[in-house]
A and B are shown apart, each in its own frame.
Chain A
Amino acid sequence: MYLLILWLPLLGSIFSGFLGRFLGHKGSSTISIVCVFLSMFLSLTAFYEVGLMGVNHYITLTPWINVGILKVSWSFLFDSLTVTMLVVITVISSLVHLYSLEYMQNDPHLPRFMAFLEIFTFFMLVLVTADNLVQMFVGWEGVGLASYLLINFWFTRLAANQSAIKALVVNRIGDFGLSLGILTTFYIFQSIDYFTIFSLAPLFTNYFLNFGGFYVSGLTLIGIFLFIGAVGKSAQLGLHTWLPDAMEGPTPVSALIHAATMVTAGVFLLIRFSPLIEFSYTVLNILIIFGSLTAFFAGMSGVFQNDLKRVIAYSTCSQLGYMIFSCGISCYNVSMFHLANHAFFKALLFLSAGSVIHALANEQDMRRMGSLIKFLPLTYSLMLIGSFALAGFPFLTGFYSKDFILEITQITLNTNLQNLQGSFACWLGNLSVFFTAFYSFRLIYLTFINSANTTRESILKSHEPSLLMLMPLILLGLGSIFIGYLGKDLFIGIGTDFWKSSILILPTNSYFIEAEWLNINLKWLPFALSTLGIILATIINKSKIHIYLSSIVYRKICFLINKKWYLDVLYNRFFVYPILNFGYTVSFKNLDRGFIELIGPYGLSKVILVWSKLFSRLQTGQLNHYLFFIVLGVCLFLMIMCNQIQLVIFYSVLIFFI
């Protein structure tokens, strides 16, 4: 049963991919949907068995690599963390499959699309169920590959090609960090199995590597490399530029990549390695700083975006920042809880956005929408649920995880904790709550409530999608309302033993109890901030105040943030183009085709030609010149006979200069 969870999506992918030509649209989509739904039910069973009943599963298949002390086998570990991820992945993936059945119904390549979605799910499942780093890396790279295929699904579009390549290459930077992490792990622990590493980690807290006189803690080094991997995959500040561009794929793809699967892989990696990074304060502080900066930066950028999907993409980026910094303050279970909740409401938001785009004939610009509340009431209410959940409205899903993260950051403000980075996370996290609420409701207003800005025809043609497309939306809407409440006691309740040994939190880093007895005013703070954001969005959109646009400075700032702080431009100017130029002028033109060819075949043949012409010009046809050479030759011969080497050299130099 446990292996079937993995094999079914692979089977569906193979069938709909290789046999899609024969199965047709209906056949391939039926097969893939049946496979992924079966996988979902099996994952729910696995969740019941592993998560609720507490029976961990560990399955070993054949050995894979067996060289010296490096022993890697294909084996699968099902513990609480894994089954939570399994449920999240398969549920979202099944609903996205169901959704894309209608969303993509007019696309001629539906079997290929289904095959790619299935292979994405399969690789993600491989990633989460692996019990060693190499097998995890298979899933990690496979997810990157599948994201390339999916973003590039409409491969005739230039923009889709570019963003797919960008996603793959930027991810590869992080993958390089992760592979360095794997190598370091093997160097330090002589093993890459999770069990071995995690049980040995406490013994290696004083292990230092010597880099030419600098002593670096081994666990810190591994943690930093893993974090670099997570930065690429989870789009943290620095390598986040691929995420907004990945919106070039079809909307269900965005829902799958941004909600449940790809971007959560980085967070999952950090949570999985909690027994290791928990022992390194440096890594935890890096997580806090980068996570909170990402949350703040992406929240701010989301405010001024005009593309419907891009706003949601930035909100994903921002929420991933929350997950990362809550790993940094050692609340891995809260981070995981937020990951699961976020999967539901973000999938809901993306799929609702897809429904809006579908209704308006592929119009994505929010400035050209409006007044859709009359035409798409169901989509509107679902999107409102998603937005409220995202903004952390009380008793919706987002409230239970996001507000708890913020409460824990408030604890780190206590003066006796000496946790400066925690206060950083607290300030930036609370500010991002405001931005989150603001851009969510800006989106709602611009899309649904404000007066219409689009053409008459597209308004008249707009319609609710059929039941097939609405059903996943409604299920996700129910999930966005109830999952947080249902999962709260299980995941982050006081004294819950759900996680068992899959997550390690050192007692000195644990603030759960304190968070429950926080000052009541501080507990109200995130709600107050998000309400403020909602009110501000309402005021700006209802009263039509456009004073803020009249100020030139303000307009410049808006433009700057709308252009994502010009980070893409800066990257292009300072990294991409210089590297491309270097590759062309230095490595290609000067080294490969220049220097090496010059001392190699090309230059040698040319020199031989020149020299042979030079030497043949010695035969001038003049008789006395020939005589001169004859006498000279006799002289040289005599000189060699008399062993006067210096003179020989002297004369040969003379000959050379003739």
Chain B
Amino acid sequence: MLIYINLTNTSILLFLISVLGIFLNQKNILVMLMSLEMMFLSISFNLIFASIYLDDIIGQIFSLLILTVAAAESSIGLAILVIYYRIRNVITVELMHLMKG
């Protein structure tokens, strides 16, 4: 079954959906963080599939590492978000334009 259903395509589709989720999102920063998590998931999914396909353990090790990194990253990101909310009382992406070129 695995030979006929190319799971790489599925994971790339998932990645692109998450990219579009970041891309088209104008309002909420939480949705962005969730899309980011989805990106990590699709990447680790891809790595796991590749590790099975190639019969190599390194992909799974990488996906485990990515899991920890993603957890750390989402915790730090949420912490920044909370601090930002505490200062500005708003988390709308559109209104974050203090830094201009």
Q: Do A and B bind each other?
A: yes
Binding site for B on A (CB under 8 A): 616-624, 627-628, 631
Contact A623 B96 (CB under 8 A): yes
| Stretch touching chain A among B4-12, B19-27, B65-73 | B19-27
Task: Give the Cβ gap from A617 to chain B, nearest Cβ, in Å.
Answer: 6
Known: A620-B97, A621-B96. 15 other contacts (CB 8 A): A619-B99, A619-B101, A620-B100, A620-B101, A621-B97, A621-B98, A621-B99, A622-B93, A622-B94, A622-B97, A624-B22, A624-B23, A624-B26, A627-B23, A631-B23
| Partner among B19, B23, B96 whose Cβ is within 8 Å of the Cβ of A622 | B96
B101–A624 CB distance below 8 A: no
B interface residues, tally (CB under 8 Å)? 13
Q: Does A617 lie within 8 Å of B101, measured CB to CB? A: yes
| Interchain CA distance A621-B94 in the complex, whole Å | 9
Between A and B, 17 residue pairs with Cβ closer than 8 Å are A617-B101, A618-B101, A619-B99, A620-B97, A620-B101, A621-B98, A621-B99, A621-B101, A622-B93, A622-B96, A622-B97, A623-B93, A624-B25, A627-B22, A627-B23, A628-B23, A631-B23
> In the bound complex, how far is the Cα of B101 from the Cα of A617, in angstroms?
6
Contacts of A623 in B (CB 8 A): 93, 96
Query: What separation, in Å, do the CA atoms of A628 and B26 have in the docked complex?
Result: 12
* Distance of A645 Cα from B98 Cα, bound (Å): 37
CA distance A631 to B22 in the complex (A): 11
Q: Are B94 and A616 in contact (CB under 8 A)?
A: no
A123 to B25, CA, bound (A): 93
Contacts of A631 in B (CB 8 A): 19, 23
Please determine whether A621 and B100 come into contact, CB atoms closer than 8 angstroms.
Answer: yes
* Nearest CB of A to B31, in Å: 12
Least distance between A161 CB and chain B CB atoms (Å): 60
B57 shortest CB reach to chain A, Å: 29
Closest 7 CB pairs of A and B: A619-B101, A621-B97, A616-B101, A621-B100, A621-B99, A623-B93, A622-B97
> Are A624 and B93 neighbours in the complex by a CB distance under 8 Å?
yes
- Map CB proximity to A onto B36-79 as digits: 1 under 8 Å, 0 otherwise: 00000000000000000000000000000000000000000000
Q: Which residues of A contact B22 (CB under 8 A)?
A: 624, 627
- In the assembled complex, the Cα of A631 lies from the Cα of B23 at a distance in Å of 9
Distance of A618 Cα from B25 Cα, bound (Å): 19
Closest to A625 in B: B97
* Residues from chain B with Cβ under 8 Å of A628 in the complex: 23
Contacts of B93 in A (CB 8 A): 622-624
B93 nearest CB neighbor, chain A only? A623
- A622–B92 Cα distance when bound, in Å, is 11
What distance in Å separates the Cβ of A621 from its nearest Cβ neighbour in chain B? 4
Report the minimum CB–CB distance from B17 to chain A (whole Å).
14
Cβ contacts under 8 Å, B96 to chain A: 621-623
A247 to chain B, nearest CB (A): 73
Q: For the complex, what is the distance from the CA of A621 to the CA of B95, rounded to whole Å?
A: 9
**B19 / chain A contacts, CB cutoff of 8 Å:** 631
Q: How far is the CA of A617 from the CA of B100 in the complex (A)?
A: 8
- Most chain B CB within 10 A, of A616, A617, A621, A624, is at A624
Cα of A620 to Cα of B93 in the assembled complex, Å: 13
Q: List B contacts of A621 (CB < 8 A).
A: 96-101
A620 neighbours in B (Cβ, 8 Å):
97, 100-101
- Assembled-state Cα–Cα distance A148/B62 (Å): 96
